[in-house]
Each structure stands twice: as C-alpha cells, then as structure tokens.
Amino acid sequence: MFRNLFFAAVLAALCAGLLTSAIQHFRVTPLILHAESFEGAGHSHGEEAVVHEHADGTSHVHEDAAAATTAGHDHGGDWAPQDGFERTAYTVLANLLVAAGFALVLGAVSMLAGLPITFANGLVWGAAGFVVFSLAPAYGLPPELPGMPAGDLMARQIWWIATAVMTGAALLLLAKTRAGWAFAVAALLIIAPHVIGAPAAPEEASAVPAHLATAFAANTLGTAAVFWAVLGLVFGRLNDLFADRTATQYAGKGALA
C-alpha cells in the first residue's frame, strides 16, 4: 500500500509539475521579466532580485540568490541562473521537486487520517490543497513581483507556515467529523492567522505598476488552481489503478493456493 501510494504521488507530481511549468512559461514568467525592468527603481540598494515561481503558485523575492527550490526559503549566494533555457530548466526542476513534496504530503495525510485519495474525490483533495497552500496564505501575503516592497522574510515564512498548518488542520477536522464544536474550532483555526495579520510590507512606493501586480497575482493563483486540480485527479486515478492491480494479484495468488 505504501509503495503504491509513493509511486502514485511521484507520477502525479510529474504530470502536475510539467503542466504547471508550461503554463508558467507563457502566463507568469513574462510578467516577472517585465517587472524586473522596474526593479532598479524600487530598490535603493540596487541589489538584483530573483523571483522563483513555486508549483503551489506562491512567489518569493530572493536578493542576490539563486531561486529556491522549496517554498518560503531564501538561500544566499552570488550565483543565479541565466535568462532563457537555463532559467526555464531550473524552474521546471524546482516545480517538479515542489510538486513531489506536496504530493507526498497529501499521501501522508491520507494514510494518517484514513481518508483514501481516489479519482472520485481527487478534485476535493486538490481543492483542499489549493485552499491550504495557495489561497489562504495569499489572502495575507499575495504573490509578489521583483521590485515590490515586502516584510521581513523570516516573519513571512513563519506566518505562511502557520496559516497553512492551521487551515489544513481545520479542513481535516471537518473531513473527520461534522459535530457543531468541530465547525467552531475549524472556523477559529482558519480565521486566527488573518486576525493576527501577516507581516506588513514597509510603506514605500513600488515601482511595479498596479495592473502588473494584479495580473501576476491572478495568473499565479490560477496556475496554482490548475496544479492542484491535476495533482488531485491524477493522484486519485493512479491510486485506483494501483489498488485494482494489487487486488487482482492477491486474488490470483489466492486462486493458485
């Protein structure tokens, strides 16, 4: 069972990651490149920023750093991928790694909670992943382009993780029980991070035009929605196929015995 779940997660991540990379290349990357042309005007220190688009639809600004391969982490250094094929290749690789990580998280939650991922409920799992890892965090920390002011990185990371964990716990609680107290606790968990509030960005003018930032946020969340829908549906379909194959194998062994 664990082996089947692992292979289903990896294959689903491959499909979702590649499709997401293709959409990003045409819908998201041009916006990032356009925003980078305004970057010098928005940073008084003149440092170069690199944005990496994660498969979950979030974006992070990395000052003088290569694009990170895990959501919300900044890695210092002087190297950065060159525009063109190299940058695209690293983005695709990062998307695949992040997709595999999220798929394995879904698989682990499925096993621990005793809630199987199937083709019938795969879209529901995908919607839950989108809400937990993209929509809820984006409500307080919308996707950011290069040149846009941002709050302290560590504070944003902590808030992002806390929001995702609390939102996921709320949805899992509702999936396991529909008691009145569960709805109250779930509502509290979902609302609490936003009542506390995400780390505020410094009050400074952004060189990035408002319409560009809006288009980026919309396209990023739209790409994330496609990613999670594909991940959930493919994961569920593969789980069904592997389960049927395993049941057939055991049935054959029983007949021989």
- Summarised one tens digit per residue, pLDDT across range 91-111 is 999 999 999 999 999 999 999
Chain segment 124-149, per-residue pLDDT in tens: 999 999 999 999 999 999 998 988 88
Quote the Cα angle for 151-152-154, to 5°: 135
Q: Which residue has the higher pLDDT, 2 or 63?
A: 2
- 74-88: string of b/e by CB count within 10 Å (b at 16+)? eeeeeebbeeeeebe
Number of domains in the chain: 1
Q: Which domain holds residue 249?
A: 2-256
Are 249 and 15 contacting, i.e. CB atoms less than 8 angstroms apart?
no
How many contiguous H segments (helices) and E segments (strands) does the chain have? 9, 2
pLDDT beyond 60 at 238? yes
The pLDDT assigned to 142 comes to: 93
Whether the full predicted model's pTM is greater than 0.85, yes or no, is no
Half-sphere exposure of 21 (CA within 13 A, CB side): 20
Residue 209: CB atoms within 10 A of its CB come to 13
Chain segment 45-79, per-residue pLDDT in tens: 334 444 444 444 443 333 333 333 333 334 444 56
Give me 136's structure tokens. 């809820």
The pLDDT assigned to 41 comes to: 53
Q: How high does pLDDT run on average in the chain? A: 83
pLDDT beyond 60 at 30? yes
